[in-house]
Amino acid sequence: MAPPFGVRRMCAAMRRPLAWSFFLAVPVILGPAACGSNGGADGPGGPGGGPGSGSDASTSYDAAPGVDASSSAPVDAALDAAHDGPVSTMTPIKHVVVVVKENHTFDNYFGTFPGAEGSTTCQTTSGAIPAPHAPNSTPRDLCHQHSCALGDWDGGKMDGWLSVSGASQNGDNLFCAQYQESDIPNYWAYARKYALADHFFADVLGPSFPGHAFVLAAQAGWATDNPGLSLLNPYWGCDEAAQYTVPVLDHGTCTTQNVAPCFDIPSVPTLLPAGTDWRFYGSDYYLLPEIWSMFDAIKPVRQTSLWNNVVNVTQFDGDVQSGKLPAVTWLVDQDFSDEHPTIGGVCQGENWTVGHLNNLMQSPLWKDTVIFFTMDDFGGWYDHVPPPRQYGCDPATPYGLGFRLPLVVMSPYVKPGVYKNVAEQASIVKFILENFHATQFLADLDPAAQDKQANDLMDMFDWNQAPVEPLMLTQRSNCPP
């Protein structure tokens, strides 16, 4: 959820004491149109059976070249006994960690990954163009609000990016730019060692507000865009000032209405069985003191004692080291390491991720953990694979699916390779609910939720394989500016 350009300038200026005092004194207000042509304020499958059923779709999986999971050493049985918790699970997984970063498509991060369905060219209405090399920190944001996503998608032809203002300036074709393995070597190392899904889609053609909500609730209250933003109170959700609303599809039709971004909807914590603890580890929002979390928009969490489960990300490493990591956690940076264009470089963001994952992988918790690493939305970048569930504005499939996002799954039990089956953001929710023996899906409580029909990702795992070892990586000290 990066702030719009003026806010980014202010955030940079806030590092200077005089500018900081000015910032506190002057209430700069940004309305719903803040996204504009630059993308603006941004933030943060096959049918499945009932809970515990696993996926009934056939597995499509390409083995990772040079990876032999059977060569990994088994986990020490003594540690198994020492650290098994009381939580009942369908699988050996006792801890699910969902890492959400900002604004990249699959082609943008993994378009040249071996064995994956990538592309090194971008189709436009004027023909194909070669993908330029993406810079560590981009010169501008790309529009990724709902209207821009619809233009990019172009009715499924996937060639409309140049019709969106700012996608290319002076012929730089920034929308088409790609990172190479040398730019994000540690993310590629995770993908080579564990599993990379190359048909994992956002659940909406749009930006961060719905994107972040889907990994918490498998829905976003039919929201298609971001709410307006007050600089002095930029926390989307129930804390939003009354004049700032969010557009929603009215009962799944193409008609929209603007409503307060505070939704009385169920989310993962609603259905976790008693004793299954959870926590959202979030960061401060660009030097402002409060923790940013999309649970702010979910009334049964924000307006109850469950909000106490939203804590600062600085607690994550300590909870891991003390063995107190909850069963379900979200790990979300909303600061200068979030990988959002113009905010921080992808190298710096990768270092943030590696630091936390090193800490987790070298702990006894690794033996029964799965890490889902993904993005909140497409960020305006190109991707060449049409969403297989098309946007339609009808009550049955109002959202369709959005563009592909990276999904790297790390666990001792994940099958190494490129995972080919169609999945979506709501699949992560479905995996959590099934794994922890929830007796219902969120869709059983609210038909807007997409978890019931989503692929549950269970076929990414082999619960009988020799556990895949942890991968300790080195944070880079020579990040480009």
Q: What is the pLDDT of residues 187-198, one digit of tens each?
A: 999 999 999 999
Q: What is the pLDDT of residues 281-316, one digit of tens each?
A: 999 877 777 889 999 999 999 999 999 999 999 999
Where do the domains of the chain lie, and which CATH numbers do they carry? Answer: 42-120+181-460 (3.40.720.10)
The bridge status of strand 195-197 relative to strand 417-419 is parallel
The residue ranking higher by pLDDT, 344 or 121, is 121
End-to-end Cα, the chain, rounded Å? 21
What pLDDT, on a 0 to 100 scale, did the predictor assign at position 1? 52
Query: How far is residue 5 from each of residues 25, 141, 210, 383, 476, measured CA to CA in Å?
Result: 20, 8, 21, 25, 28
Run of H or E residues at 321: helix 316-321
365, 124 contact by CB (below 8 A): no
Query: How many whole angstroms separate alpha carbon 321 and alpha carbon 358?
Result: 11
Query: How many whole angstroms separate alpha carbon 288 and alpha carbon 385?
Result: 38
DSSP letter at 2 equals P
User: Using 50, 70 and 90 to split pLDDT, how confident is the model at 62?
Assistant: low
Number of Cβ atoms within 10 Å of the Cβ of 323:
12
User: Using 50, 70 and 90 to split pLDDT, how confident is the model at 401?
Assistant: very high
Arithmetic mean of pLDDT over the chain: 85
Q: How many residues does the chain have?
A: 481
